[in-house]
Amino acid sequence: MMPTADTSAAAHLDRVRQDHPLVQCLTNPVTVNLVANALLACGATPAMVDIPEEAGLFARGAASAVLVNLGTPQHDQRTAMLEATEPGPDRPRWVLDPVAVGTLPVRTALAQQLLERGPTVIRGNASEIGALAGGAGGRGVDATIGTEEALPAAQDLAGRTGSVVAVSGATDLVTDGERVVRVEGGHPLMARITGAGCALGAIVAAFVAGDVDPLEATVAACCTYAVAGELAAERAARPGSYAVALIDALDAIDADILAARGRVS
Amino acid sequence: MMPTADTSAAAHLDRVRQDHPLVQCLTNPVTVNLVANALLACGATPAMVDIPEEAGLFARGAASAVLVNLGTPQHDQRTAMLEATEPGPDRPRWVLDPVAVGTLPVRTALAQQLLERGPTVIRGNASEIGALAGGAGGRGVDATIGTEEALPAAQDLAGRTGSVVAVSGATDLVTDGERVVRVEGGHPLMARITGAGCALGAIVAAFVAGDVDPLEATVAACCTYAVAGELAAERAARPGSYAVALIDALDAIDADILAARGRVS
Amino acid sequence: MMPTADTSAAAHLDRVRQDHPLVQCLTNPVTVNLVANALLACGATPAMVDIPEEAGLFARGAASAVLVNLGTPQHDQRTAMLEATEPGPDRPRWVLDPVAVGTLPVRTALAQQLLERGPTVIRGNASEIGALAGGAGGRGVDATIGTEEALPAAQDLAGRTGSVVAVSGATDLVTDGERVVRVEGGHPLMARITGAGCALGAIVAAFVAGDVDPLEATVAACCTYAVAGELAAERAARPGSYAVALIDALDAIDADILAARGRVS
């Protein structure tokens, strides 16, 4: 039986705040500033080392975890992504965020290549997870199907890759192919700012760093983020100020708040 | 005679909020986050698909409109810009934002090449429009002449290209070569944050998507933005908080506010 | 004897607000938006001209000063950095921000090449300055040693290159190899947002533009920034809102505030 969020998620958050995992991000310029500030607010340390001839060295020699986000995978960044995820004993845990995969050929081919390298976690919306598992993909970065509809695809993808798969939406689904955990929370304003999904991908990377159960750590990351999303909505009602409040909420959230408000089933 | 803003601009805004046009942006990393959030706040959906071998497919297969912003046109992005604007029956409407053209050779040559492909709208400051029309260009991203001084250049450029030309400034000028519309409003703080012009270019793209009169839709976009700029200044007096308030204002503005406050002549 | 901050720093700030120096930035996408807005808030004009075949022309023909920040030095940007810093009589003053140099090979080699071109100022944290001077480097972007520990390295580096060296930390050290100035101030929240160091590098570039003593101007920039960091902390207690407040504070700070609150020794 899964631990309830009031113990497990809170403990994971405390661990991140204590360990300050160094999260190497290979991500897109659209949302990279939010991603970096979200990591800092959680207690992690971002390092956007994403150029060829540095990315692999940094991943193996310094990073606690790696985020690979396919938002705008320019040529050199693709090379760096392959360097950073090169299989080997020193490779840290890593998260694949398959932004807008499906019909866009460059990122879709790269995503399939990266899948074969066994990401620790794959985090996407329902359309992206569906496309990765063999479906058709969505319209750009937005999901066109609900998370529950994507559950079979998520379980199939997890079973095939050995990855934890997190499907983000109004309710998040997290599965390792057998266990399925649902995380409630968040707020509709999260879909009205750019980068809310990207930031979660980075936070998942921070939480799975180290010797922890990847599914539990992913659930804890989703739960922390969902509660922060609710807290932010108590401070801000429109998207500009909501993006600011979200970073503040990630900084403010602690184990007690998470224990009181996290909703995992 | 032009419709007055209190009917036309408001109707265009309602249409954007209802249709959620998918605006593909090939733009610069400096302001891309603000651009994406400005589009979301207006009700549009941003998609920053700007890599070669994806940009053209996305433009023809998914995008409702395309923004081409020359702020930092790296080599691969230039290739993607040419893909996305390749003439053909499936090409959506597109906006050219010729940032800092004039003396900088790479972007100036690219802008001339793009001009031949008939952008739906060209949006720039007075110096940029003057340079595109054959003048000398300004000092980086700032206009060194006033918008009224650029009117002959704007009309000439519109007549030669078939594009609507929007000259941004304290008073915006919008012309198709024959009609000339002036939009009053905005606030001096818009020039104290980076990306206010870039965000307007993207909003224009959102408004001209679909089967609408490009000049009217461009005027509506400029009018929406000018009123949002005024609303933001009622909430924030300094540039950091003003950038946040501007996104909030784009989210808050509705047809009634626009009808009451828009100033078009 | 050094002038005290209450006259010198304030005079430098007034000069920047009057001259609006045009600061060309070749910097990373993570923090480029903050960098641009920080420059605007100080009264400078940012221009992110960082592509090959434009960067050198702009540096020699238009820029008042140049910032070279090694945060994510992609291939084309490295070429542009070398163009912009090409020695010659028309090259403006320039600042090197050697982000994360040390063990990362691409940027470390580039930094050494750039050092030979005599930056006007080198601004980094203690680990970066130590690594440039021949030490081992830190863990990504964070300093692992204190600023006082880096003083011998900073003096050695300044003596060898002819550059002013600024070591950022709780207390900033600024030295030209002989003179050593300490700037107190700032706030711990500056280390909780991404880009606080990058923004300072750009502000230093704005202050050293023109015919001024580079050490005095660098001290004035550090002092302005430190006081702004304190002012921001009076308005915001968490990192999301602190980043916004920091830009507002850079806009709000004036000669009187600086004279009253600046602490230089």
Q: Does the beta-carbon distance from C36 to B30 stay under 8 Å?
A: yes
Give every CB contact of residue C181 below 8 A, 6+ residues apart in sequence. C2, C173, C174, C175, C215, C219, C264, C265
User: pLDDT tens, B202-229?
Assistant: 999 999 999 999 999 999 999 999 999 9
User: Across the strands, what pairs with B168?
Assistant: B125
Q: Tell me how far apart the alpha carbons of residues A184 and A222 are, in angstroms, rounded to a whole number.
A: 9
Give every CB contact of residue C88 below 8 A, 6+ residues apart in sequence. C60
Was B60 annotated as part of a binding site?
no
Contacts of C37 in chain B (CB under 8 A): 193-194, 239-240, 243
C-alpha distances in Å from residue A111, one per residue of A82, A98, A190, A264: 11, 6, 25, 29
Q: What is the average pLDDT across C34-39? A: 98
Contacts of C104 in chain A (CB under 8 A): 49, 54, 57-58
User: Across the strands, what pairs with C174?
Assistant: C166, C181
List all chains that touch chain C, counting a touch as 3 or more CB pairs closer than 8 Å. Answer: A, B
Q: Does the beta-carbon distance from A241 to B244 stay under 8 Å?
A: yes
**Tokens standing for residue A95:** 């998260």
Predicted confidence band of residue B134 (pLDDT cuts 50, 70, 90): confident
Provide the H-helix boundaries in chain A.
5-19, 32-42, 55-61, 75-84, 105-115, 126-132, 151-161, 196-208, 214-235, 239-252, 255-261
Predicted confidence band of residue B1 (pLDDT cuts 50, 70, 90): very low
Sort strands B172-175 and B180-184 into parallel, antiparallel or unpaired.
antiparallel
Tell me which of B23, B34, B54, B198 to substitute to probe the interface with A (most A C-beta atoms closer than 10 Å).
B54
Which of these, A41, A45, A39, lies nearest to A21 by C-alpha position? A45
C120 contacts C164 by C-beta, under 8 angstroms: yes
Surface-to-core class of residue C153, CB atoms within 10 Å of its CB (0-12 exposed, 13-18 middle, 19+ buried)? buried
Q: Does the beta-carbon distance from B51 to A72 stay under 8 Å?
A: yes
Give every CB contact of residue B98 below 8 A, 6+ residues apart in sequence. B70, B107, B111, B122, B124, B128, B129, B131, B132
Give every CB contact of residue B20 below 8 A, 6+ residues apart in sequence. B43, B44, B45
**What values do phi and psi take at C47, rounded to 5?**
-145, 110
Q: Does the beta-carbon distance from A76 to C71 stay under 8 Å?
A: no
Q: What is the average pLDDT across A153-175? A: 97
Q: Would you say residue A111 has pLDDT above 70?
A: yes
Chain B interface residues facing chain A, Cβ-Cβ under 8 Å? 22, 29, 32-33, 36-37, 40-41, 45-54, 57-58, 61-62, 74, 76, 243-248, 251-252
User: pLDDT tens, C208-257?
Assistant: 999 999 999 999 999 999 999 999 999 999 999 999 999 999 999 999 99
Q: Does the beta-carbon distance from B57 to A193 stay under 8 Å?
A: no
In degrees, rounded to 5, the angle at the alpha carbon of residue A24 between the alpha carbons of residues A19 and A26 is 155
Q: Measured between CB atoms, which of C57, C61, C248 is closest to B239? A: C248
Q: Measured between CB atoms, which of B33, B240, B243 is closest to C245? A: B240
CA of A198 vs chain B CAs: smallest distance (Å) = 13
Predicted confidence band of residue A142 (pLDDT cuts 50, 70, 90): low
Amino acid identity of residue B211, one-letter, is: D
Question: In chain C, whose CA is at the least distance from the CA of B241?
Answer: C244
Number of neighbouring beta carbons within 10 Å of residue A261: 17
Q: Tell me how far apart the alpha carbons of residues B112 and B101 are, in angstroms, rounded to a whole number.
A: 10
B128 contacts B101 by C-beta, under 8 angstroms: yes
Q: Tell me how far apart the alpha carbons of residues A52 and C253 are, in angstroms, rounded to a whole number.
A: 41
Contacts of B106 in chain C (CB under 8 A): 51-54
Chain C interface residues facing chain A, Cβ-Cβ under 8 Å? 28-31, 33-34, 71-75, 100, 103-107, 139-142, 192-195, 238-241, 243-244
Which of these, A85, A87, A58, A59, lies nearest to A73 by C-alpha position? A85
Contacts of B75 in chain C (CB under 8 A): 51-52, 76
What is the count of residue pairs from A and C with beta carbons less than 8 Å apart? 92
CA of B244 vs chain A CAs: smallest distance (Å) = 5
Was B48 annotated as part of a binding site?
yes
Question: In chain A, whose CA is at the least distance from the CA of B245?
Answer: A240
Contacts of A73 in chain C (CB under 8 A): none
SS3 B141: coil
Q: Does the beta-carbon distance from C238 to A246 stay under 8 Å?
A: no
Q: Does the beta-carbon distance from A48 to C72 stay under 8 Å?
A: yes
Q: Tell me how far apart the alpha carbons of residues A147 and B200 are, in angstroms, rounded to a whole number.
A: 34
Q: What is the average pLDDT across C141-153? A: 82
Quick one: which H or E segment has residue C66?
strand C65-69
Residue B61 is predicted with a pLDDT of 96
Sort strands C164-168 and C121-125 into parallel, antiparallel or unpaired.
parallel
Query: Could you please report the per-residue DSSP string of A164-187?
Result: EEEEESSSEEEESSS-EEEEE---
Q: Tell me how far apart the alpha carbons of residues C72 and A48 are, in angstroms, rounded to a whole number.
A: 7
Q: Tell me how far apart the alpha carbons of residues B28 and B9 are, in angstroms, rounded to a whole number.
A: 28
Q: Tell me how far apart the alpha carbons of residues B220 and B141 are, in angstroms, rounded to a whole number.
A: 24
Was C48 annotated as part of a binding site?
yes
Please name the CATH architecture into which domain A5-261 falls: 3-Layer(aba) Sandwich (3.40)
Q: Does the beta-carbon distance from B140 to C244 stay under 8 Å?
A: no
Was A195 annotated as part of a binding site?
yes
Give every CB contact of residue B17 below 8 A, 6+ residues apart in sequence. B42, B43
C-alpha distances in Å from residue A35, one per residue of A39, B262, C27: 6, 36, 18
Q: Picking from B146-155, B156-165, C13-22, C127-136, which range would have the lowest pLDDT averaged per residue?
A: C127-136
C104 contacts A58 by C-beta, under 8 angstroms: yes
Q: Does the beta-carbon distance from C239 to A57 stay under 8 Å?
A: no
CA of C198 vs chain A CAs: smallest distance (Å) = 13
User: Across the strands, what pairs with A166?
Assistant: A123, A174
Contacts of A244 in chain B (CB under 8 A): 244
Q: Picking from A14-18, B74-78, C20-24, C134-138, which range would have the lowest pLDDT averaged per residue?
A: C134-138
In degrees, rounded to 5, the angle at the alpha carbon of residue B208 between the alpha carbons of residues B203 and B209 is 100
C-alpha distances in Å from residue C11, one per residue of B91, C121, C253, C257, C259: 55, 20, 13, 12, 9
Contacts of A107 in chain B (CB under 8 A): 54
Q: Would you say residue C18 has pLDDT above 80?
A: yes
Q: Does the beta-carbon distance from A45 to C140 stay under 8 Å?
A: yes
CA of C233 vs chain A CAs: smallest distance (Å) = 14
A51 contacts C73 by C-beta, under 8 angstroms: yes
Residue A6 is predicted with a pLDDT of 44
Provide the H-helix boundaries in B48-193.
55-61, 75-84, 105-115, 126-132, 151-161
Q: Does the beta-carbon distance from A37 to C140 stay under 8 Å?
A: no
Which of these, C229, C234, C244, C99, lies nearest to C170 by C-alpha position? C229
Tell me which of B22, B25, B30, B32 to substitute to probe the interface with A (most A C-beta atoms closer than 10 Å).
B32
Give every CB contact of residue B39 below 8 A, 6+ residues apart in sequence. B23, B25, B45, B46, B202, B203, B206
| Every domain of chain C and the residues it spans | 5-261
Predicted confidence band of residue C140 (pLDDT cuts 50, 70, 90): low
Q: Tell me how far apart the alpha carbons of residues B180 and B173 are, in angstroms, rounded to a whole number.
A: 7
In degrees, rounded to 5, the angle at the alpha carbon of residue B88 between the alpha carbons of residues B86 and B91 is 75
Q: Would you say residue A100 has pLDDT above 70?
A: yes
Query: Could you please report the per-residue DSSP string of A114-142?
Result: HHTT--SEEEEEHHHHHHHTTS---BTTB
Predicted confidence band of residue A146 (pLDDT cuts 50, 70, 90): confident
B13 contacts B224 by C-beta, under 8 angstroms: yes
Predicted confidence band of residue A232 (pLDDT cuts 50, 70, 90): very high
List all chains that touch chain B, counting a touch as 3 or more CB pairs closer than 8 Å. Answer: A, C
Q: Tell me how far apart the alpha carbons of residues B2 and C132 are, in angstroms, rounded to a whole number.
A: 63
Q: Would you say residue C4 has pLDDT above 60?
A: no
Contacts of C21 in chain B (CB under 8 A): none
Q: State the number of CA atoms in the 13 A half-sphere of B60 facing the CB.
A: 15
Q: State the number of CA atoms in the 13 A half-sphere of A107 facing the CB.
A: 31
In this prediction, what percent of chain C has a pLDDT beyond 70? 94
Between A64 and B265, where is the model more confident?
Answer: A64
Residue C141 is predicted with a pLDDT of 56
**Tokens standing for residue B40:** 């979301």
Give every CB contact of residue C99 below 8 A, 6+ residues apart in sequence. C28, C69, C70, C71, C107, C124, C128, C141, C197, C198
Residue B145 is predicted with a pLDDT of 78
Q: Measured between CB atoms, which of C30, C238, C244 is closest to A36? A: C30
Contacts of B51 in chain A (CB under 8 A): 72-75, 106
Quick one: which H or E segment has residue C11?
helix C5-19
ipTM of the complex: 0.95
User: pLDDT tens, B57-83?
Assistant: 999 999 999 999 999 999 999 999 999
Number of neighbouring beta carbons within 10 Å of residue A235: 16
**Tokens standing for residue A192:** 């009205």
**Tokens standing for residue C86:** 């090409």
